[in-house]
Amino acid sequence: MTTRLTALLRSLWPPAAFGAVMLGIWQLVVRGFDLQPYFLVAPSDIYAKFVSDFSNIWDAMVVSGTNAAFGLLFGAIIGVLVAFMLSRFRILDELVMPMSIAINAIPAFVLVSVFNNMFSSTSEVPRRLMVTLVVFFVVLVNVSKGLRQVQPVHSELMKSYAASGWEIMRKVRVPNAIPYLFTALRISAPLSVIYAYVSEYFGGSQNGLGHRISSNISNSKNALGWAYVLGACLLGLAFYMISIAMEAVATPGGAGSRNREGS
């Protein structure tokens, strides 16, 4: 356990040191060349704003984070369910897949504007819908692949055991798709946060990180705008790290699986 911790620390310190050096250079450049805040804000000013306005930033993080979490959860659930249906009924696959791809190709701002017109202007539903849609697509494509890409030797073995379609689904296709689901979640977790911010740019209530960033910066409150950006980064990182932690626990080959199988 201690060796794993030291290994983790050893792999963490180079990027951490690199980040610290970059921040130091940023700080020195702004102070040294006496750059004005409307051009570039010093990290120390951003940090000061982050601390002084933390309760507002936290509120905005909760709003955007909740939207992203809703979208991530429902997108994943619906994506998994549809992937199951498509793998059971080939005809549905041919109907639904092209439509999903077509919808995914529509630019986000178009969809958000359409959703905004459908619901009241203070509703969070349009943003959640937007995130759901993006996550749904990523999960659908990956889980469908996992359900379908069964090794030929595994299908032949199951046939030799006279297994039914349902048994093959339960004992081969589903376990085979689980790593694909976690890959999809790892891709969608940061995406969900990004789409939650972006969909705040196109109207609706003005309480999330995306809106706060754009309004502060357009009002020349650059330091405060950057403080909200810092909040947005932290939220995105948190989502990403949760998805990685879930994968490490659940995927065979990961650190946790040996103990789980020991039952």
Report the interface residues with another protein, using CB under 8 A: 151, 153-154, 156-157, 159-163, 167, 171-172, 175-176, 178, 252-253, 257-258, 261-262
Q: Which is nearer to another protein, 26 or 84 (CB)?
A: 84
**Closest distance between another protein and the C-beta of residue 169, in Å?**
13
Residue among 102 and 153 whose Cβ is closer to another protein: 153
CA distances from 48 to 101, 169, 221 (A): 45, 55, 13
User: For residues 144 and 180, is the Cβ–Cβ distance under 8 A?
Assistant: no
CB under 8 Å, gap of 24 or more: what pairs does 238-247 form?
238/65, 239/65, 239/68, 239/72, 239/189, 239/190, 239/192, 239/193, 240/186, 240/189, 240/190, 242/189, 243/182, 243/185, 243/186, 243/188, 243/189, 244/186, 246/182, 246/185, 247/182, 247/183, 247/185, 247/186
Nearer to another protein, 32 or 152 (CB): 152
Place of tokens 């102070």: 31
Residue 220, sorted as left (phi over 0), alpha (psi -120 to 50) or beta, turns out to be left
Q: Which amino acid is at 207?
A: N
Smallest separation, CB 263 to another protein (Å): 9
Rounded to a whole number of angstroms, the minimum distance from the CB of residue 247 to another protein is: 14
CB closer to another protein out of 92 and 248: 248
Cα–Cα separations (whole angstroms), residue 152 to 102, 135, 148, 228: 31, 30, 11, 51
Choice between 136 and 182, CB closer to another protein? 182
| Identity of the residue, 176 or 215, whose beta carbon is nearer to another protein in the bound complex | 176
The nearest distance, CB 159 to another protein, in angstroms, is 6
Q: In angstroms, give the least distance from the CB of 170 to another protein.
A: 10
Nearer residue to another protein within complex by CB, 150 or 198: 150
Q: How far is the CB of 102 from another protein (least distance, A)?
A: 32
Please, what is the minimum distance in Å from the beta carbon of residue 66 to another protein?
A: 34
